[in-house]
Structure 1
Amino acid sequence: MVIERSAQASNRTGLSNKQLWHGEDGGLIACWERGKELAREQPNLAERARKGELVVLPWKGGVEAAIKGRKYGSHRYLAMWQGLRGDDLHIHPDSEVEMSCPVHKAKVIFVNDVDLLDTLPD
């Protein structure tokens, strides 16, 4: 299953926390919607993300400085980052996504298993 939403879609309203975070999408749509809101609140941050920078966000996955090797991040970060950039939401929850931050030259592997993130290096 792929979690998808068009960048032109309006943010949902009136949903409970259970619906937002524990539905079939696992909170990815809520993260993406928050990224869209964040783009309006912090246009400079959105511009950096549009240039490919893996900016620091509330979820694991952002990069503040150069690192050796790789780090792991959450699909929730990836969803928020896509919203921040104004991209369509498009995430395969069962797959890993590997990206590199052009500013800090760091490689980040995004995974869906939040419990696994606690056991992996930042």
Structure 2
Amino acid sequence: MRIYRDTDQPDRSGLTWHQTWQAEDRGLIRSWEIGRRDALRDPELAARCKAGELPPLGWKGGGLKTLKKLTRWGSLHYLAEWQALRGEPLSIDLAEEPTIICSRTGMIVTFTGDTDKLAGAGTDHDDEGATDGSAPGISEQSLFPSGSN
């Protein structure tokens, strides 16, 4: 199923948490709306995204440096936010796993909605979520416990 939202459509309002995050779009529209807001707040970030960079955002996918392993998994929510920062419509097929190469780091990121792939990808000790290069973000792996306690 393709999730699509055109750039001339206004942000939605008055939705419950369930309607926002657990409807058919799985929250991708909300992530895209956040990206549109962030593009207005941070034009420099938007310009970096337009230039093909995959900077750290609120979801797994971007980073500030090249890692030893050049491939990684990213969240479809990252892709939605990134599309909005670029001024693009939201256009994501939930059945596909698109790949983008970061123009800054050369990292090859494959975007997925599969939480098992995202949970297994947090072992790199990378820099995602570090918006200023100094503070690491919360790994999505911590959101998906492996069951060992």
- Normalising by the residue count of structure 1, what TM-score does the alignment of the two structures yield? 0.95
Partner of 2:15: 15
- The structure number with the bigger radius of gyration is 2
Q: Which residue of 1 aligns with 2:77?
A: 76
Q: Which amino acid aligns with 1:107?
A: I
- State yes or no: 1:48 paired with 2:67: no
1:69/1:107 contact within 8 Å kept: yes
Alignment pair present for 1:58 and 2:58? yes
Give the AA of the match of 1:33: E
Cα deviation code 1:41-71 (max 9, x no counterpart): 1111001101110011010001210123201
Q: Partner amino acid for 2:4?
A: E
Bigger Cα displacement from structure 2, 111-120 vs 101-110: 111-120
Name structure 2 gaps, 5 residues minimum: 125-149
Q: CA deviation at 1:114?
A: 2.4
Q: Within 2, Cα distance between the matches of 1:120 and 1:48?
A: 24
SS at match of 2:108: strand
Moved segments of 4+, more than 4 Å: none
Aligned mates of 2:60, 2:45 — CA distance in 1 = 17
Q: Which moved more, 1:50-59 or 1:109-118?
A: 109-118
| Residues in 2 aligned to 1:104 and 1:116: alpha-carbon distance in whole angstroms | 22
Identity of aligned residues (%): 41
Corresponding residue for residue 24 of structure 2: 24
Deviation at 1:120, TM superposition (A): 2.6
TM-score normalised by the chain length of structure 2: 0.79
Contact 1:31 1:76 in 2 (8 A): yes
Aligned to 1:114: 115
